[in-house]
Amino acid sequence: MSGVSAALVKELREKTGAGIMDCKQALSECDGDMDKALDFLRKKGLATAKKRAGRATLEGVIQSYIHMGGKIGVLVEVDCETDFVAKTDAFIEFAKNIAMQIAATNPVGISAEDVPAEIVEKEKEIYRAQALETGKPQQVVEKIAEGKLNKFFKENCLMNQQFIRDTNLTVEDLLNDTVAKTGEKISIKRFARFQIGEES
């Protein structure tokens, strides 16, 4: 630990919001390599998230975000385990980032399981038809359709999307990082996005 400079610890802390001791440990384990230390903390966050997966989230916030001079509005419910964490800067910032993400990307659901079956079937049908147009054999058509469907989920399901403020992260990465910072299970429960002129 003594080999890790305070400046490096400070830089890692500013990048991640993780505690001083966690940053020191990460840099120490990774021989002062900033990128490896970032990965180390991310994996630790993922481990914390898995450990807390079964916990109940009965506290949280309803966060709003209004964009384009009132043309787009979002309400999102983000839950955690305790009222104490619901009031922390890390949690509130996460909720605000999620509301902003939803305003910008207009996801069809939180995860792939939330996408209605009829939308999934419709997308697959389009991808199959596109692949058949190119004269591909049937077994290849199915593989192409599956690949395109996975890309559709990546772009249209909130948890799989690239985070708009840091495209090296997915929203799921951001959630796991926040779990590591707060030490509690966090879940994005539901959201509604409104846009002027859009049919409901």
User: What is the average per-residue pLDDT within 14-20?
Assistant: 72
Give start and end residues of each alpha helix (H) in 68-186: 83-86, 89-105, 117-133, 138-156, 171-182
Sheet holding 59-67, edge to edge: 59-67, 72-80, 187-195
Tokens 């900033």 correspond to: 34
Average pLDDT, the chain: 87
User: What is the average per-residue pLDDT within 80-100?
Assistant: 95
Residue 78 has pLDDT above 50, yes or no: yes
- Structural domains in the chain plus CATH codes: 6-51 (1.10.8.10), 59-110+157-195 (3.30.479.20), 116-155 (1.10.286.20)
Q: In the prediction, which pLDDT does 1 show?
A: 41
Question: Which helix H or strand E contains 8, and what residues bound it?
Answer: helix 6-16
Q: In the prediction, which pLDDT does 132 show?
A: 87
Q: In the prediction, which pLDDT does 42 show?
A: 76
**pLDDT level of residue 76 (50, 70, 90 thresholds):** very high
User: What is the average per-residue pLDDT within 65-79?
Assistant: 93
pLDDT in tens, 148-179: 999 999 999 999 999 999 999 999 999 999 99
Residue 61: name the closest of 25, 85, 43 by CA. Answer: 85
Residue 59: name the closest of 33, 79, 31, 89 by CA. Answer: 79
pTM of the predicted model, to two decimals?
0.69
Q: In the prediction, which pLDDT does 187 show?
A: 94
Contacts 24+ apart (CB under 8 A), 47-50: 48/176, 48/179, 48/180, 48/183, 49/175, 49/176, 49/179, 49/180, 49/185
Of 14-28, 71-85, 119-133, 174-188, give the lowest mean pLDDT range: 14-28
- With a pLDDT cut of 90, the percent of the chain lying above it is 47
Residue 186 has pLDDT above 70, yes or no: yes
User: What is the average per-residue pLDDT within 1-28?
Assistant: 77
- Across-strand partners of 166? 163
